[in-house]
Amino acid sequence: MSVARIAVMVSGGGTNLQALIDAQESGIIKDGKIALVISNNAGAYALTRADKAGIPAEVVLLKDCKDRAEFEKRIEDLLSEYDIDLIVLAGFMSILSAEFTGKHPNRIINVHPSLIPSFCGKGFYGLHVHEAALAYGVKVTGATVHFVNEIPDGGKIIMQKAVEVMEDDTPETLQRRVMEEAEWKILPRACQKIAREIVRGN
Ligand code: GAR
Ligand 1 nearest-atom number relative to CA 143: 4
Substitution site in 10, 120, 125, 187 for ligand 1 pocket (most atoms within 8 Å of beta carbon): 125
Task: Give the count of beta carbons closer than 10 Å to the beta carbon of residue 103.
Answer: 14
* Prediction pTM value: 0.98
What residues act catalytically?
112
Interval between CA 2 and ligand 1 midpoint (Å): 30
Kindly state if the Cβ of 15 falls inside 6 Å of ligand 1: yes
The predicted-structure confidence for 65-121, as pLDDT tens digits, reads as follows 999 999 999 999 999 999 999 999 999 999 999 999 999 999 999 999 999 999 999
Task: Give the count of beta carbons closer than 10 Å to the beta carbon of residue 156.
Answer: 10
User: Per-residue confidence at 202, pLDDT binned at 50, 70, 90?
Assistant: confident
C-alpha separations of 76 from 22, 66, 85 in Å: 26, 16, 12
How high is the pLDDT of residue 1? 81
How high is the pLDDT of residue 82? 98
Interval between CA 126 and ligand 1 midpoint (Å): 5
Sorted by where each begins, the domain ranges of the chain are: 4-199
How high is the pLDDT of residue 79? 98
Task: Give the count of beta carbons closer than 10 Å to the beta carbon of residue 142.
Answer: 24
Kindly state if the Cβ of 142 falls inside 6 Å of ligand 1: no
Kindly state if the Cβ of 154 falls inside 6 Å of ligand 1: no
Q: What angle do CA 162, 113, 10 make, to 5 degrees?
A: 140
CATH topology of domain 4-199: Rossmann fold (3.40.50)
Whether 10 and 92 have beta carbons less than 8 Å apart is answered as yes
